């Protein structure tokens, strides 16, 4: 498959988890890929393993977000696609979430995609060329658990922003879509279960046994949808926020 042949794609948070899977899939389909991440050692390893260009970037920093897009354009002359996969998801209810934690969620989960899209779309419009953007969101954007108040709020904002930008730039032939991912098996989720939920070495076994499909979502499966939305295979679709989960929103036993 080479449906992204020679396209230039930037993946925020592309050094691990779903972001790394999306980067790997885009490379496999012929794209030239730039990934961002905070940790240089992890990023350099990803660059070697995935065959991508690594740009250090803490997406909570506005200037670093803009610099990541600028570095992509400087390296390859343009940007054709953007995947916003970087996120933070610390725990906290309405009553115990600090303003500082709320601000951090806002900076990473909503402001960073805004700034990255702003810079990427500016390059696409300047060149008068089409482009595609995929925002990795979450089923939690529909409401979520009580202990994910800040996460739910900022990701719900990203879902709304996705539709807004899609509408605003459809005449520029820039398609913008989102993916509301469900419970997914990643390195980060393993750390989260152990840190916040008392998960032991058997947490994954217990979790998968309780799922309808007998497994958690897999990053490579999500990446397949992300690359579909990045490519011409998804046709004219824009402004869609797709629920990617094995539980059906609004349905009850």
Tell me which residues are annotated as active site.
Answer: 151
* Residue 113, C-beta contacts closer than 8 angstroms, at least 6 positions apart: 12, 84, 135, 158, 161
241 touches 176 (CB < 8 A): no
How far, in Å, CA of 238 to CA of 251, rounded?
Answer: 26
Residue entry with tokens 């089409």: 130
What is residue 95's three-state secondary structure? coil
How far, in Å, CA of 219 to CA of 85, rounded?
Answer: 11
Q: How far is CA 98 from CA 101, 107, 149, 218, in A?
A: 5, 14, 11, 32
CA 197 to chain centre: 24
Sheet strands side by side (includes 131-136)? 53-56, 32-37, 8-12, 81-84, 131-136, 174-181, 241-244
Tell me the torsion sign for CA atoms 171, 86, 232, 217.
negative
């Amino acid at each position: 498959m080479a449906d992204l042949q020679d396209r230039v794609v930037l993946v925020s948070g592309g050094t691990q988890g779903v972001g790394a899977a999306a980067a790997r899939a885009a490379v496999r389909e012929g794209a030239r890929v730039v990934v961002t991440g905070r940790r240089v050692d992890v990023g350099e390893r990803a660059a070697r393993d995935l065959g991508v260009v690594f740009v250090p970037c803490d997406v909570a920093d506005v200037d670093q977000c803009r610099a990541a897009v600028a570095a992509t354009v400087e390296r390859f002359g343009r940007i054709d696609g953007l995947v916003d996969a970087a996120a933070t998801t610390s725990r906290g209810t309405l009553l115990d979430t600090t303003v500082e934690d709320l601000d951090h969620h806002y900076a990473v989960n909503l402001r960073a995609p805004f700034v990255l899209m702003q810079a990427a779309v500016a390059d696409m419009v300047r060149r008068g060329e089409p482009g595609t953007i995929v925002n990795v969101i979450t089923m939690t954007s529909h409401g979520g658990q009580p202990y994910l108040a800040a996460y739910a709020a900022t990701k719900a904002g990203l879902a709304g922003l996705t539709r807004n930008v899609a509408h605003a730039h459809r005449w520029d032939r820039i398609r913008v879509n989102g993916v509301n991912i469900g419970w997914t098996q990643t390195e980060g989720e393993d750390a989260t279960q152990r840190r916040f939920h008392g998960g032991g070495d058997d947490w994954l076994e217990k979790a998968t046994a309780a799922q309808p499909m007998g497994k958690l979502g897999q990053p490579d499966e999500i990446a397949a949808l992300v690359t579909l939305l990045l490519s011409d295979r998804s046709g004219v679709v824009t402004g869609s926020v797709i629920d990617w989960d094995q539980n059906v929103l609004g349905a009850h036993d």
